[in-house]
Structure 1
């Protein structure tokens, strides 16, 4: 970036109190529009595979694209209507992606892909409760109950974690880097995470419906001169349009010719075993899954495919042929599909919970040591904390520290607390206090109204929200350190606690887990947005308001979309198995009823111990890598131990691959290979010619078009299904087909 431009921008901080508010109607409108598309897409993906896209990068791209192609004015009936009287600013783009993310994440944070479908799967004999199907008003009440308190948790955490500790929040940093490239403005260098608290890291934005963001570093968003060229002309927008249309066209075409969605190509390898219909081995060449694989990266897609292979090529046949799961292999109750779900559950619980404990223990010890060293260091006691108004004042304060070594002075300077924003751009504490109190009361009342005496007691709802606030702090801390928000483990810990508080109540157990997951998820996602805004210079107050507005519309859109899907399709069913719902329900049954299928406990223990170990090693390695990143850690050679850790599979991705039939993972693996090949090509060309032929943004644009295209076409699929449209032919369909084929 241009150093002079950055210096000019830093110097403008002196007059920051007079800066115009970046909360604009056009930014909110664009964010809500993009968020609606994301909400439909994420509900579709979550119910289908349990893996969704948060799409912060994609929201920023689309926001930039809307205002790039939107005319400044339009003449109608002799009158001129102005759409844009001023240029679209990077601060507004931050508001766009914050608002869009708040709308788009609601299907996950409100439990519409997990807890709510799980309630419809209840069985009177097994759970002591009949299936609970919420009506339109009850579903709205549930979503309103979960939509806000996590937002109020997050706001007070901005200062200690972003301002003081300068935690990395890698996905938020990556989004800020993208916005800086699109708008050709530098980041505020004084705000970039450095030192022991982490360096910049470029990453994607995938998340399992079990709550984990893609954990692997993405090489695709590495800035070079060609990044600007991709978006300056029409090549980037043409790529987005064509990838969107290609994905949407394939989705509609597969509705009328379902075999395109589920190609039984593996039956040719072993015709006698009927691999597609019996064992779930078919291939779906969905461009949506390919796009997701590109964003995830090769390591995550390999982990997912490995899980699919172990689950469906090894464990499923073993459980079936040894009589542990005697039903049809594709039966979720008596077949091996339901049997391997328990193994998947053990992997998720062990990696997420043990990894979270390891990270909190590690950070807690390091924080304690740092606090004790500051207490015992006379120079820190004498000169810190230093209260300053600007970086220049900070330099002067450090220069006045006579008798200190340069290294010590630099250390004090790096740990000084500096709030860059004036008070009128910050979220008032009164907003947070009243919002937290009112959202808590609202949640208790609405959840009681939705479930009554058969659900969770009001006092238990309050306990759940208190637990959610504590867990949100742990989750945000983990997110800032590792780019991993362990809401899966947080939800499961709540389920374990409520098995003691309300024993035998499966409904209360599910609700309590959903409350904790929602709080931690919304807090973590808003903190990522705060990090983006901090680096770009956006108003935290504007982001806070955008988050609340987006969450409100997200409730309405998500409830509407969920009711459309449940009225049109069987959920869970062949096309939308809702795998995450089965995980929630099985854990609730386990901690309240204690029943396991034959021999499942042995495999759960073995796989649980294995991935507890690998998850701990991976979590600690990511935390260490981020801590040394600010000192050039990304470029240093890896040690032998670190190389081994990078080869360990992601437990969550492995478990999700096991939960779903292999077709969902195979297409993502194709995307991961494409991303890896593209990255290697860019690196080779950069070495040979001094620059890449296409910037890293280009492939993100294409992948975004693939994902959003199928999400948009899924709305058309809903309408076709409701209108009774039939497929043209069911030739070749052997199971798992889309459209109207049985």
Structure 2
């Protein structure tokens, strides 16, 4: 009996060890040596990062200039980085080259970090928002009195210089807080954690096999999406031509922007975005273009003059723009206060815990224990925690270097940014840099708690505060938009870096390699993103115009926010302010209802920010996204395991193929090569008139 018990106990112990090994990620990689940080930031990793960074910058730029909805591309960056470097090392081995360094998960993390940092500048650079909002083209649409002092047209040189000045400060501002964020506070950073799990899984035997199949699937849909974009191009010889103008739901619905435009990009976006986001976008389109705008247009001549230009903000366009701004500001304010409350509450708990768990000193006497109470019991450290903590604290980045670099760059910025934007005074920039580290910390901390970056919200606050501070007469519109760029550049990169620190922590990538790859990726983005925008700007001459292929709706929204900041609300059309107040309050009420209703009910309550996007642009892309949702939903029901593994690569292939087609399309446009066919759709009566005209 004793022997049987002993044997049974040994079996139980082995089962427990097997379970522990299964739960431990680092046990799988225990036999692999962790390379030093210089061996993680390799030349081949940076070469692949530059290639993928340029590709993703084109994709992000296209999304920026169409709707502004940009899904997470981290999965695609990690997957393609794994595929390219694995293929590269295998080719070198087959060529007989000895001494080829094996491809590691730390190197994969460096690629993902560098790519996301590079393509992130295409978003935070404001090419579809604050930076393009400064241009004369967007100013003309806003209906303001022409004033050269409130206009700054795009220029490749000053855009690159401005981004280099403002995009690195956020990196240095959070470096001293990396240990507090990741180890002491144990913040989750859901996106960074998910990316780390993905990269870790790629480098296991099973994960490598799955990754190959995922890349193959991505490649198929990339090729199909690219070919579809090429095919569509042949039918777009004029305005309103091609599949993008296909009245799939009828001509009357088409007039109100209800149609499917056969966009592979937004079908792919719909497959990645949560169902609620897609449904909210479509609901916003129905509420605005299906109900509100037709009713307001029936008041033409009463609420607003009937003889206005179609783009005038004193007419129907004013209602579209300012009501969407009200929804965006209401949603942004609520989430700002919510995240700040969570951040301050969590910080207060951490501070109280640290104060109540002071160091235990070897002091004799009864008062010592009372003065230095023992720390509250915590969960025991796992093998993974110990291993990750050890390596995360190994390669330190000197705080003096970070703080010194921040001070130097801030001084340079205070001296140079006002030379780029004469409307922005040196004290505006200095005040921004005093406040920015606090906001960068709050954004990075809040992002770790909620996975929600409020960079654009902080930027909008800068528009109103600095714009009002400068005043309309002294170029307050440009000053506010430039201050927005300064704030977004700092706050956005700060949260991105802390996400990457979390990813590096979980893949045993050195903090130094994470920081260096983020700096290199940011530097790449400061050149690549303006160059890509410059290509778009010159290849597509109607960029930023309503009804064009790239209308850049957020640029007009940001321009009008700046106008509101310096001029007030007196220029709004009749009853527009009432509607703005109502929708601002509705955004807050909807968010409050979502938080009070609980997770299950909240899944059926729309998101105000997503609803606001089609108010100006129209619901057509929401139809594309909902079709993507329907495809994903059907796939999830029929084969959930396969859908979970392959839906993201399929969606990424659709987005990437259609996005990359933009490059040859731009080259053709610059070369003066025009499509040969115009495919248009007419009503029966219009077609009869055209036939009669041609016969006559």
Q: Pick one of 287, 290, 294 that aligns with 1:313.
A: 290
Separation of aligned partners in 1, 2:392 and 2:629: 44
Total equivalences in the alignment: 632
Match runs of 1:348-367 below 5 Å: 348-367=328-347
Asked if the contact 1:247–1:286 (Cα under 8 Å) also holds between the matched residues in 2, the reply is no
Deviation per CA, 1:504-545, whole angstroms, max 9, x where unpaired?
211101111121112111111122111111111111111111
Structure of larger gyration radius: 2
Deviation larger for 483-492 or 460-469: 460-469
Q: Is the 8 A contact 1:16 1:422 kept in 2?
A: no
Q: Confirm or deny: 8 A CA contact 1:329 1:337 kept in the other structure.
A: no
Among candidates 359, 366, 378, match of residue 410 of structure 1:
378
Are positions 1:440 and 2:414 aligned together? Answer: no
Per-residue CA shift, 1:36-56, capped at 9, x if unaligned? 101111111101111224411
Preserved contact between residue 244 and residue 263 of structure 2 (Cα < 8 Å): no
1:298 aligns with 2:275: yes
Residue number in structure 1 paired with 2:14: none
Question: Deviation string for 1:634-671 (max 9, x for gaps)?
Answer: xxxxxx63322232212221112323222221111111
Match of 1:729 among 671, 677, 685: 677
Counterparts of 1:263 and 1:17, CA distance in 2 = 54
**Matching of residues 164-183 of structure 1 within 5 Å:** 164-183=184-203
- How many angstroms does 1:485 deviate by? 0.5
Distance 2:226 2:277 in 1: 25
Query: Which of 507, 523, 526 is 2:478 aligned to?
Result: 507
2:650: which partner in 1? 702
**Aligned CA distance change for structure 1 residues 157 and 412 (closer, same or farther; 3 Å):** same
Does the CA contact (< 8 Å) of 2:80 and 2:215 recur in 1?
A: no
**Residues 297 and 675 of structure 1 are in contact (CA less than 8 Å); yes or no, is this contact kept in structure 2?**
no
> Is the counterpart of residue 122 in structure 1 residue 96 in structure 2?
no
Q: 1:660-685: CA deviations, max 9, x gaps?
A: 222221111111222233333344xx
Structure 1 residues 420, 135: CA separation in 2 closer, same or farther (over 3 Å shift)?
A: same
Pick from 63, 67, 75 the counterpart of residue 81 of structure 2: 63
- Measured after TM superposition, the shift of residue 96 of structure 1 is 0.4
Contact 1:119 1:132 in 2 (8 A): yes
Where do 1:57-456 residues align within 5 Å?
57-70=75-88, 72-73=90-91, 82=97, 85-120=100-135, 121-122=138-139, 125=145, 129=149, 131-184=151-204, 229-232=209-212, 235-258=213-236, 259-266=241-248, 268=250, 271=251, 273=252, 275-276=253-254, 278-323=255-300, 324=303, 326=306, 331=311, 333-372=313-352, 375=355, 377=356, 380-381=357-358, 408-410=376-378, 419-421=389-391, 425-452=395-422, 455-456=423-424
CA 242–335 in structure 1, closer or farther in 2 if over 3 Å, else same:
farther
Give the deviation of 1:584 after TM superposition.
0.8
Give the CA deviation at 1:141. Answer: 1.4
Structure 1 position 486 matched with structure 2 position 454:
yes
Q: Which residue of 1 aligns with 2:599?
A: 642
Deviates more, 1:498-507 or 1:664-673: 498-507
1:274-300 Cα distance to aligned partner (Å, 9 max, x none):
x43x43333211111111111112111
Q: Does 1:459 find its partner at 2:427?
A: yes
Distance 1:19 1:525, change over 3 A: closer
Contact 1:230 1:698 in 2 (8 A): no
- Say if 1:105 and 1:85 are closer, same or farther in 2 by CA, change over 3 A: same
2:360–2:374: 8 Å Cα contact kept in structure 1?
no
Q: 1:311 & 1:84 partners in 2: Cα distance?
A: 63
Deviations 1:45-98 (A, max 9, x none): 10111122441111000001112333534599xxx6849813211111110000
**Against the structure 1 CA distance between its residues 83 and 161, is the aligned structure 2 distance closer, same or farther, given a 3 Å change threshold?**
farther
The 5 Å alignment of 1:523-672 reads 523-569=494-540, 570-573=542-545, 574-594=548-568, 595-616=571-592, 618=594, 641-672=598-629
Give, in whole Å, the separation in 1 of the partners of 2:416 and 2:37.
40
Structure 1 residues 184, 332: closer, same or farther in 2, change over 3 A? farther
Greater mean alpha carbon deviation, residues 649-658 or residues 582-591? 649-658
Q: CA deviation at 1:422?
A: 6.0
Which whole-Å CA distance do the structure 2 matches of 1:420 and 1:291 have between them? 40
Kindly report the root-mean-square deviation, in angstroms, between the aligned alpha carbons of the 2 structures.
3.3
CA distance 1:327–1:3, shift in 2 (3 Å): farther
Shift of residue 319 of structure 1? 2.1
Aligned 8 A contact 2:64 2:128 in 1: yes
Which of 489, 493, 496 is the equivalent residue of 1:522?
Answer: 493
1:144 is displaced (CA, Å) by 1.4
The alignment partner of 2:293 has SS state of helix
Q: CA deviation at 1:20?
A: 7.3
How far has the Cα of 1:371 moved from its partner?
3.3
Query: Contact 1:262 / 1:733 at 8 angstroms: preserved in 2?
Result: no
Change beyond 3 A, Cα 1:669–1:15 = closer
State the 1:245 CA deviation.
0.9
Q: Note the alpha carbon deviations across 1:109-129, whole angstroms, 9 max, x for none.
A: 121121121000236616673
Q: Is the 8 A contact 1:353 1:493 kept in 2?
A: no
Runs of 5+ consecutive residues of structure 1 not aligned to the other structure: 186-224, 385-400, 622-639, 684-691, 736-742
Residue 724 of structure 1, CA deviation? 1.8
TM-score, normalization: structure 1? 0.78
**C-alpha distance in 2, partners of 1:471/1:553?**
25
Superposed CA deviations along residues 300-321 of structure 1, whole A, max 9, x for unmatched, are 1111111122221122212211
Task: Tell me, in whole angstroms, the C-alpha distance in 2 between the residues paired with 1:169 and 1:327.
Answer: 53
- Contact 1:327–1:335 (Cα < 8 Å) also in 2: no
Instruction: Deviation per CA, 1:573-608: give whole Å up to 9, x if none.
Output: 211111111111111111211132221111111111
2:181 touches 2:187 (CA, 8 Å); kept in 1?
A: yes
Q: 1:127 to 1:482 in 2, by over 3 A?
A: farther
Q: Report the equivalent of 2:440.
A: 472
What's the CA shift for 1:242?
1.1
